[in-house]
A and B are shown apart, each in its own frame.
Chain A
Amino acid sequence: MSGHEEGESKELAEFRAEVKAWIAENKPPKPDFKLPLSFLEVESRQQFDYLREWQRKVFDAGYLGYDVPEEYGGRGVDRDRFRVVGQELARARAPFMVNLIALQWAGPTILAYGTEEQKKSLLRGILSAEEIWCQGFSEPGSGSDLASLQTRAVKVDGGYRVTGHKVWTTLAHFAKYMILMARTDPAASKYAGISYFLFPMETEGVEIQPLVKLSGEGGFNQVVFDDAFMPESALLGEEGQGWNIAMTTLMFERGANEGVGRERAAGFVERINTLAEVARRQRRGGRPVAEDPVFRDRIVRAWIEAQAMALAAARSEAPQLNADRPMALPLMNKLVMSEWAQRVAELGCEMLGAEGALWVGDENAPDDGDWPRAFMNSFGMTIGGGTSEILRNIIGERVLGLPKSK
């Protein structure tokens, strides 16, 4: 049971064993510097290099790209192998893939809407981590009301010139490309005036300013464009199609991509093991947390929820099971998982008792202060990619058919 799954073919079970063995052999040792908890917190070059090296290693071993056809540098589409790699990486608590925005959101969008040329020139660099991507959707005045965005892309000879301001731009400081939403037709309606670009970041007129998160960490930025040029080939799809394409990206971001959900879910079940370890180790009121009935109950509650999420993710493989409400699970995915992760991070903090008062950098901080850090950073996921509140509106209206909120 630990390795294979019920009903898994011999061929797939062998592949799983191979991946597992390779990870055990190649997983990098814990570095002597602080590692980011997720792709949202990569601040230093040292952290970035360590993570990029790991992604490249996984790619070189042939385990990345099972969602990308071979002619574009992938391994050929194989959903089973894609899922197995993700699950085994999560179970081994291996470092995350630093180019996540590209692997999970931009890449699948390019596959869906890109020209042959775009697919050929961009997808391989995404997989190998050669080219890092960031996302330019939100603006200071346009968060939940994304379609009100004001960044302009003006058609000029051979391309476009961009002027505007994007915020919460994770990884912009290491990125070679940005998926960029910009207004190309201010006269058109709110939605129809937006286009979607694959913007090359290394150009004049682009200023990246770091932002500091509530945890004190960096990793995200604001990006100011002042008449920055991009070639015509940066346009994805047609002019004016940007809103629809962005909705596709957001679907991927919210975990609609089957396999990604299962990978995350495997990580969450693994997180329960971590929580249980902490409960056995930490003491409150003279006894291990694992003996405190209130904490036992809360941990088991989180365990049941993690199992529910893992099973919900697995339902994507039996679409008929979801026929009554096909969009429910894909749209719920990010919402449920991010709120769960937030509760678990807080639970972890509470389990530390008096030691929960220590922060990153203190030599006695349990788990290097990662619990309070994870709790603070968890809000990145309940806000980013559509806030929990906006997602509840979307689910209520699109899945349940409830009347629109004005």
Chain B
Amino acid sequence: MTDVTQLIPQAPHGFGFTEDHDLARKEARRFLSEHSTREHVRAQYEDPRGYDRDLYKQALELGWLGLSVPEQYGGAGLDALHLLLLWEELGRALYPSPLFGSALAVEALLRGRHEAQRGQYLPEILSGNAIATFAYAETGGNWGADAVSCRAEPQEGKWVLSGTKAHVPFGASAGLLLVPAVDHKGELGIFILELPAAGIEVKPETSVDPTRRSARVELDRVKVPHGARIQGDGKAIFQRVCSLGYALLAAEMVGASEAVMLMTRDYASDRQQFGRAIGSFQAVKHPIVNAMMQTELARSLVLGAAAAMSSTETIDRPEVAEHAARMAKAFAEEALSFTVQRGVQLHGGFGFTWDCDVQLYFKRMLWSRATLGDATEHRQALARVLFG
């Protein structure tokens, strides 16, 4: 009989939080509050690329993409707690950038067994010479390792790829595209494509969150070298990439939820009706308290996911980190959904306008929910773990 305490790591001691984590978090918050202001975020809505290249260069110089990449590949070699604390700050500031897709691409390269591939691509990606991204989804709402219909056929010492990938993060800006495809033996492989190339058509989508651009990518008999396939168990690598994605999005959603909760708190403290601040009414106060509590619980699950990702146990049992990350994403999504909805409602008429910043977070919530599985889907996965 399944014992739930075996399926997820128990609460760790102090979460390994140190002075260094604290300093790094504060530094990231300071940098983002200066550069990724709400005006900056709104300006990216109108930008053709959807992000500011100079600012992105600075973010990469700060080492944000390579935070938990081993130092031998140009990363900082820090733990998952560092990583998720940073992503909480990115979510709080809604920082518009291709970091998400790039982080997934980096993870796929790291989880592969091919040393030369890592050495070739990682420094390029971390330095920003190439924007990398990962094609986790296909059409019809399908995503993940079990939903890949893209084909990879061997031909004259090369791989020939055909199929359609959807919702590719910042696909239109990418120079490197990591594509999962099923080979002639029915095995899943992950292939590295350099863009542009013959047979690849990239069509920008209209994303619900303009700070999270995406594209549909059509692959029509695209030829890549034999060595473009990442070495290792493609399915396992794909799942590791997804697990990281759940955790990054969960952390971002916690930061976003925190920002909206505080915005709403401030508005309710200032706005006067019936001769008093509306935050003094319990019908207004209590939902804000609920939003804060949901945010804190979601943050706790994100910290748990960080601990699980860093735990030595996950070397042999990566599913432990996967479960923790699924929990964090499922809960954080519902926390953020609650917070943005109450945020709009409690801002009253102003909340319903384009000018009220809550809308920026509303859109991020919808995008994050739809990306890499929503709360219902993660709970279904966890139910299979619990009950089969």
Contacts and interface: CB of A to CB of B under 8 A. Distances in A.
A296 interface: yes
Which of A280, A290, A402 has most B Cβ within 10 Å?
Answer: A402
Nearest to B261: A400
Interface in B272-294: 276-277, 279-282, 285-286, 288-290, 292-293
A233 interface: no
Interface residues of A, number: 62
**Majority secondary structure, A binding face:** helix
Interface in B322-369: 327, 330-331
A311 B11 contact: yes
B310 to A, nearest CB: 9
Interface in B220-271: 265, 268-269
Given A296-B380, A402-B268, A403-B277, A396 B12 contact: no
Which of B9, B279, B386 has most A Cβ within 10 Å?
Answer: B386
B16 interface: yes
Contacts of A273: 3-5
A401 B292 CA distance: 12
Contact of B280 (A320, A389, A405): A405
B13 A393 contact: no
A300 B10 contact: no
B296 interface: yes
A342 to B, nearest CB: 15
B289 to A, nearest CB: 5
A70 interface: no
B96 interface: no
A246 interface: no
A323 B292 CA distance: 15
Contact of A5 (B1, B11, B327, B376): B11
Nearest to B320: A1
A119 interface: no
B382 interface: yes
Contacts of B279: 396, 402-403
Contacts, number: 177
Interface size class, chain B: 35 or more
Interface stretch (B184-192, B204-212, B297-305): B297-305
A315 B303 contact: yes
B288 A402 contact: yes
Interface string A115-129: 000000000000000
Interface string A28-44: 00000000000000000
Interface in A238-268: 262, 265
B311 interface: yes
B140 interface: no
Interface stretch (A46-54, A100-108, A203-211, A301-309): A301-309
A321 B17 contact: yes
Contacts of A8: 13
B78 interface: no
A325 to B, nearest CB: 8
A400 B282 contact: no
A310 interface: yes
A279 to B, nearest CB: 7
Contact of B10 (A5, A329, A335): A5
Contact of A393 (B2, B282, B292, B307): B282
